Structure 1
């Protein structure tokens, strides 16, 4: 059986030799240093959970996907959309645009992580068509206050015989990792076609990209990037959206709610300090009594039968006594094993609310997530979800894993949301708190399902600030839950103190009597055998 090869003919081999020589040339090496790799092929380790979230379903954009047979039927619509842009500027035809791109093939190849197995001319034609198509899509997002009359009058993405490119499917495909187009390619063609000054063209393109990201980003976050920076400092639209979502600008002041909203954990702690101390005084007696009653249940003597019928309610205290015991301190290695066992160990929304945790929206993206222990307030960014959100979030997670492997803050955020959203009820509570935008077009069932398994393909990663916040929430929850159990148990004990005293005395007398009886007689047959 003949081995597979990337070559179909001798001309392919000759082209390969030319490309190899270019790649090792000094010129190419200097280009590689200036143009970092920014467009990646998604490995199966990231895409295997839900491959369709990373595979274009309608439109192929860029050399990785351009010639996939299942996507090629849409090529004619892309060409019509590209022609609409050329007709709008009415300056150059497609050949002239490709010629303008002629010296940039090496730059374009340098942006892609995977080897682009296309001849230069083919690569440039695909790039020109895709850039013009994207400009047709993006022009609908222009801020009219900034753009004035720029690109006004350009038709919406092409309609032919009643068929229109599906809007949502197009948006999802544009934001997939493998479908990215370098921003400098968009700028180059726009500068070539437009008569506007270069600095204004950059502003217009940046306005389009920022508006597009702002409208479709899953998190509401303030836009602190200028239009010019959106083009010059970010590789492509997915990279821009990632840096808008993962904002590094943390608010120095968190909004202060009404004083009635949250109660100080410190004050509650001081008010309830007496509870554990008082409970310790009776816990020993209770433990001994419960253990004795358990033994008494195993005794098969007629005298004790009436008492045994009423033991079950009392024995239920034993489970609560176990819950009150402090958790053993884990070693660092044991904690690490525990961390890898569960991606994020955190109670769900309804459980947190049951111990007095309040949720409040905060601006600033993932980096602004915080938990106020004194007031019991969990600050989370606002989620704006629609039919495109799952695909966009999965691709942001994948892009982060490919470009920021040591700082998976967005991944950790999605893990956090997966941890606190266990049910439809949790989604409803987050909506009421304003964490999930009420204008989200998904219903509560769809939102609950969205978070299920969104990060199962990513290994748990330590992100110090967010992990510290998660730990604060867990400690607060454990403390509050323990205090609630202590109060209930202590109240129950104090209300029933006389009964427990009598019961303990009775049990002691019965056990003494049984011991005396068994010392004189063989009473083995009176006890239920253990199996």
Structure 2
């Protein structure tokens, strides 16, 4: 059986040899050092949960997806959009644009992680068409106050040739990891076509990209940058959105202990000890009473059946108290390892039941915090629509591919997946303003979105956020334990004398009955006729 080959003809082999020689040349290596890889192929380990969220469904952009057969029928509409841009400037045709790209093929290839099995001319035509299409799409996001008449009157690509494309599907495809093209390709075309000064052209392009990110980011953007920085400091639109959502302008990820934290911990410890001491005071009486009731429950006499039915609630309370007092604690190492693997945290309604309040916070993922003294959980505001799941999944994938040592956005999605477990959780977060009321997703769709998010495959190394999660868990466990012990203590303190008297009386009565039945045959009195 002949082995499969990437080559279809002898010319393909010649092209491969040329590319290999170019790649090992000193000039190519110097380019690689200057231009970092920024556009990746998504591995199956990241896409297995929902592959369609990472594979374009309508529009192919860039060499990774441009020639996929299922997407190629939309090629003619991209060409129409590209021609509309060229006609708008009325200066150059497509061949001249490709010629302007002629010396950038090596730079373009250096931006892609995956080997591009395309000839330079094919690659440049692909880049030119897709970049012109994106410029046509982005021009609707341009700030008119800033741009004046720049690109005004350009035909909307979703209305081309009388066919209305699905705008949301186009937005989702534009923000997929594999569907990116470098920002400098868009800038190069605008500089070539427009007669505006270069610094203004860069401002205009940055305005489009920033406005696009503002309108379609699920989370409120954490910091602001200039329009020029949006183009010069970010590789492509997904990279721009990621860095707008996740601010790395933090002093340290090492958690700094709060001055009042030790006092708070000591107070909780002393409160727990006081409750435990109070519990021990009546534990002996309670144990004796429960054992007596268990013996009564085991007595097989028909007259006692009505009484036995009322013993189950009392015995259930005692078993809960035993379980609570003998609950094993995880070691710090085990707890830390468990936290890194998956966010094990009570859901919103459980936290609400122990008095935790949820409040919106500015600053995005880095601002997530829990105030132990006031029981307030601060979370960033999220606005969800039909595009949010795909965008969030691709932000998670992009982070895993570019920031593997600091997966803060990934940890945020895991946190939301942990606390959103039901429709009631979504309603509570909407009421608190964490999920904006303007979100177009229904409560059911929102719950499915967060529960459908996959967990990270490597440790996230987000110490500050993990510390916050641990604070919430400890607060919940402490409050829950306190509430149960307090309720049980109050219940037992109020009733233990009655229980003791009742148990003593019933036990003596049963002993008398058993003694009587041992001397006389009781079966003939209680046997059914």
2:219 corresponds to which residue? 219
Higher mean alpha-carbon deviation, 109-118 vs 148-157, is at 148-157
The 8 Å contact of residues 205 and 231 in structure 2, kept in 1 or not, is answered as yes
Aligned length: 509
Tell me the secondary structure at the aligned position of residue 359 of structure 2.
Answer: strand
Q: Summarize the Cα distance change of 1:223–1:457 in structure 2 as closer, same or farther, 3 Å threshold.
A: closer
Deviation of 1:273 (Å): 7.2
**How high is the TM-score relative to the length of structure 2?**
0.89
Deviation of 1:270 (Å): 7.9
Deviation of 1:498 (Å): 1.7
Q: Summarize the Cα distance change of 1:470–1:19 in structure 2 as closer, same or farther, 3 Å threshold.
A: same
Find the aligned partners of 2:265 and 2:430 in 1 and give their Cα distance.
25
Higher mean alpha-carbon deviation, 200-209 vs 495-504, is at 495-504
1:474 corresponds to which residue? 473
Tell me the secondary structure at the aligned position of residue 3 of structure 1.
Answer: coil
Counterpart mapping for 1:202-281 below 5 A: 202-249=202-249, 274-281=274-281
Deviation of 1:9 (Å): 1.2
Tell me the secondary structure at the aligned position of residue 66 of structure 2.
Answer: coil
Tell me the secondary structure at the aligned position of residue 88 of structure 1.
Answer: helix
Find the aligned partners of 2:171 and 2:290 in 1 and give their Cα distance.
64
The 8 Å contact of residues 265 and 373 in structure 1, kept in 2 or not, is answered as no
Find the aligned partners of 1:326 and 1:248 in 2 and give their Cα distance.
44
Q: Summarize the Cα distance change of 1:124–1:472 in structure 2 as closer, same or farther, 3 Å threshold.
A: same
1:13 corresponds to which residue? 13
Tell me the secondary structure at the aligned position of residue 358 of structure 2.
Answer: strand
Find the aligned partners of 1:459 and 1:296 in 2 and give their Cα distance.
56
Gaps of 5+ in 2: 253-263, 520-529
Deviation of 1:227 (Å): 1.2
Q: Summarize the Cα distance change of 1:345–1:112 in structure 2 as closer, same or farther, 3 Å threshold.
A: same
The 8 Å contact of residues 223 and 247 in structure 2, kept in 1 or not, is answered as no
2:192 corresponds to which residue? 192
1:4 corresponds to which residue? 4
1:356 paired with 2:352, answer: no
Cα deviation 1:136-165 (Å, max 9, x = unaligned): 111111122322222122221153442022
Deviation of 1:275 (Å): 4.0
2:415 corresponds to which residue? 416
Find the aligned partners of 2:103 and 2:80 in 1 and give their Cα distance.
26
RMSD of the alignment, in Å? Answer: 2.8
Cα deviation 1:205-248 (Å, max 9, x = unaligned): 11111111111011012442221111111111101111111123
Find the aligned partners of 2:405 and 2:57 in 1 and give their Cα distance.
31
1:372 paired with 2:371, answer: yes
Counterpart mapping for 1:74-153 below 5 A: 74-153=74-153
1:178 paired with 2:178, answer: yes
1:289 corresponds to which residue? 289
Q: Summarize the Cα distance change of 1:291–1:242 in structure 2 as closer, same or farther, 3 Å threshold.
A: farther
Find the aligned partners of 1:281 and 1:449 in 2 and give their Cα distance.
49
The 8 Å contact of residues 80 and 160 in structure 2, kept in 1 or not, is answered as no
Cα deviation 1:490-512 (Å, max 9, x = unaligned): 12112213213324545776899
Find the aligned partners of 1:310 and 1:81 in 2 and give their Cα distance.
78
2:37 corresponds to which residue? 37
Q: Summarize the Cα distance change of 1:300–1:228 in structure 2 as closer, same or farther, 3 Å threshold.
A: same
Q: Summarize the Cα distance change of 1:321–1:365 in structure 2 as closer, same or farther, 3 Å threshold.
A: same
Tell me the secondary structure at the aligned position of residue 310 of structure 1.
Answer: coil
The 8 Å contact of residues 84 and 155 in structure 1, kept in 2 or not, is answered as yes
Deviation of 1:107 (Å): 0.5
Deviation of 1:435 (Å): 0.4
2:442 corresponds to which residue? 443
Tell me the secondary structure at the aligned position of residue 379 of structure 1.
Answer: strand
Cα deviation 1:454-505 (Å, max 9, x = unaligned): 1146455342111111111111111111111122111211221321332454
Deviation of 1:190 (Å): 1.2
Find the aligned partners of 1:326 and 1:476 in 2 and give their Cα distance.
19
Find the aligned partners of 2:266 and 2:194 in 1 and give their Cα distance.
63
Find the aligned partners of 1:510 and 1:34 in 2 and give their Cα distance.
93
